[in-house]
Structure 1
């Protein structure tokens, strides 16, 4: 079986984790997509581990109920590194936030995730 690519993992991360309102379904995908000791860095914090990542995502989702993340450009990557720009906002509406996610994939899972915000 071939290990998932950074592009595939980024796609699942957005659709099945950051856009998933159900905490149980989100946790199941986090366990599949992220390394146990994942490190997530954004402008507000650095968290380590799946449990801390899930808590951070739950907090982010609570700030914009009903908002969705959508790709804002093509995937770019090399080897185990990948990035994709994104937008956040109401479905079909103007974005309220935009940024770039960068991932490092190790052994078929996201080991590190950096989120950079535009502006």
Structure 2
């Protein structure tokens, strides 16, 4: 399931629209859902718009894995950080990702653990 986390973070880090669209088409199900305290998006297009909005709010920041991945059945949970590359994350969150039968991302439930004031 570490591959799922890598594909997920690659999607969030894709700043080129064509690359983002390709990652969503390749690694996300036909009708994915993403929910966190600040967003509720259904479908690849809405999730792509959510990702672009976060990138606009935090220009130059990247998502990285923080800690280990815990998985069972078709779900995995992990902590991520958002900040300048190679530096301490400014934002830290925790996501649970559920994949479909084809191992594509189907459902994401996100939580924010550390948010700047």
Q: Same fold (TM over 0.5)?
A: yes
Q: How does 1:1-119 map to 2 (within 5 A)?
A: 6-15=1-10, 17-107=11-101, 108-119=103-114
**Superposed structure 1 runs of 4+ greater than 4 Å apart:** none
Kindly report the root-mean-square deviation, in angstroms, between the aligned alpha carbons of the 2 structures: 1.1
In the aligned structure 1, how far is the partner of 2:41 from the partner of 2:83?
A: 24
* Number of aligned positions between the proteins: 113
In the aligned structure 2, how far is the partner of 1:73 from the partner of 1:115?
A: 16
Q: Give the structure-1-normalised TM-score.
A: 0.90
Q: Which runs of 5+ in 1 are unaligned?
A: 1-5
Higher strand share: 2
Structure scoring higher RCO (CA < 8 A, sep ≥ 6) equals 1
In the aligned structure 2, how far is the partner of 1:62 from the partner of 1:86?
A: 18
Q: Which runs of 5+ in 2 are unaligned?
A: none
Q: Give the structure-2-normalised TM-score.
A: 0.91
Aligned position for 1:3: none
In the aligned structure 2, how far is the partner of 1:62 from the partner of 1:74?
A: 28
In the aligned structure 1, how far is the partner of 2:104 from the partner of 2:112?
A: 23
